[in-house]
Amino acid sequence: MEVLAPAGSLQKLRYAVAYGADAVYAGGKLFGLRAGSSNLDEKDLREAVNFCHQSGCKLFITVNIMAHNRHYQALPSYLQFLQEIGVDGVIVSDPGVFATVQAVAPAIPIHISTQANVTSAASAAFWQKMGAKRVILARELSIGEIREIRAACPGLELEMFVHGAMCMAYSGRCLLSSYLNHRSANLGACTQPCRWEYFVTEKSRPGQEFSLEEDDHGTYIFNSKDLCLYHRLAEIMAAGVDSIKIEGRMKSLYYVANVTRVYRAAIHALENGKEPPQFLRDELDKISHRVYSEAFFDGFDSIDTQYHETSKYIRDHQFIGEVIAEGNRSATIAIRAKFSIGDTIEFIFPDPSQDFTWKVTRIQDDAENDIDFTKPNTTCILPLKKSIPLNGIVRKKL
């Protein structure tokens, strides 16, 4: 089973590949549903394709907006560019965009986005007949329904989300952001009003707010839990799913790297007839997340997807830097957050068995002067007294 990781930037893409992704999905500057992500310009896209292919990895590009007339002026040339640089697929939700890909860039395989709401074997078969190579299944499907789609559509690749943020709207087709903030979720500019705190007001009492629940923080009536299907991977594999997808193009490189390596290692364990270990599942609690749910996996009767207490993230570990160079038993760290002498920090690597903790007894700045603590957006040198693997990331427990 393919592990498909998100990449909101070229740097995150490199970490996704280093930490075990078989394929990466990213967006260009146009036509994707994550306008808030840094995304990849044409130079970055060329570099990303070359890097992925040299690493034995595939690159899929999102072209999954609900397109309006104005978008079709620039779309053909953009698709032809993607074909020319050799991307491995485009992710599409709009039938007009689908037809345009087939007309102007026929060499690019087409993947049907989860935004297209494929919830049945009939819908999957329709897209297969139209020429789609892959369907990204709606999050609302149970494992039983996925098995039925697999049986009905041999030869069609099936992809499903297994981890990350979920939307209270049906597979993300939401108008709240457009209605409340004049920014369309279906054009990539969602302001996430489902995460806001809401109160009730009465027309004749302006300025008075009444909580919908007895909670000082208000209520979070639209707020979804995060998806985590780590413990269901064996069933997903047995159902014939081709690719498991991690949400998170707007998340940190630490999130991308750690979640990718967890699912990569879990799949490796299953392929070798072993149960994915609990310590890997525990790693998913060490990234920023909301309360986890298995969502619709067991059907609509069992769903527990909304969390009404708060929309805040759970954070018990902090991403503090990445290793950018290894010296003679030392490491140069690009600092993201402060740490000090006396702190215990953790190093993680693509192979979780190589992780280790370190008590900080000495820090040097980039001029090799001793310092007591670090500052974000600088570099420092840590004398580790040991050699370390490549692509290390540093965190600390809060």
Return per-residue pLDDT of the chain as tens, 398 residues: 999 999 999 999 999 999 999 999 999 987 765 555 568 999 999 999 999 999 999 999 999 988 999 999 999 999 999 999 999 999 999 999 999 999 999 999 999 999 899 999 999 999 999 999 999 999 889 999 999 999 999 999 999 999 998 876 656 666 566 656 777 665 667 777 776 777 767 778 888 876 655 455 555 666 778 999 999 999 999 999 999 999 999 899 999 999 999 999 999 999 999 999 999 999 999 999 988 999 889 987 656 766 656 667 889 999 999 999 987 789 999 999 999 999 999 999 999 999 999 999 999 999 999 999 999 999 999 999 888 998 999 999 99
Instruction: Write down the pLDDT at residue 184.
Output: 63
Same domain as 262, residue 118: yes
Residue 145: Cβ within 10 Å count: 18
Amino acid at 148: E
Query: Is 155 contained in some domain?
Result: yes
Residue 72 belongs to domain with CATH number: 3.20.20.70
Q: Which residue has the tokens 């290390």?
A: 392
In angstroms, the CA 377 to CA 307 distance is: 35
In angstroms, the CA 288 to CA 291 distance is: 10
In angstroms, the CA 142 to CA 151 distance is: 15
Query: Is 178 contained in some domain?
Result: no
Looking at residue 221, the DSSP 8-state letter turns out to be T
Q: Which residue has the tokens 């503090």?
A: 320
Choosing from 302, 330, 356, the residue where a domain stops is: 302
Choosing from 302, 325, 351, the residue where a domain stops is: 302
The range of the structural domain enclosing residue 59 comes to: 2-171+225-302
Same domain as 157, residue 35: yes
Same domain as 358, residue 294: no
Query: Is 235 contained in some domain?
Result: yes
Instruction: Write down the pLDDT at residue 394.
Output: 98
Instruction: Write down the pLDDT at residue 197.
Output: 73
Same domain as 332, residue 298: no
Instruction: Write down the pLDDT at residue 243.
Output: 98
Query: How many domains does the chain divide into?
Result: 2
Same domain as 162, residue 294: yes
Instruction: Write down the pLDDT at residue 214.
Output: 45
Instruction: Write down the pLDDT at residue 301.
Output: 65
Same domain as 143, residue 44: yes
Strands (E), the chain: 2-7, 23-27, 58-62, 89-92, 110-112, 134-136, 157-165, 226-228, 243-246, 292-293, 317-326, 330-335, 344-348, 356-359, 363-365, 370-371, 379-383, 393-397
Same domain as 149, residue 46: yes
Residue 389 belongs to domain with CATH number: 2.40.30.10
- Prediction pTM value: 0.87
What is the number of alpha carbons within 13 Å of residue 266 lying toward its C-beta?
28
Reduced to 3 states (helix: H, G, I; strand: E, B; else coil), residue 41 is coil
Choosing from 237, 269, 302, the residue where a domain stops is: 302
Same domain as 138, residue 63: yes
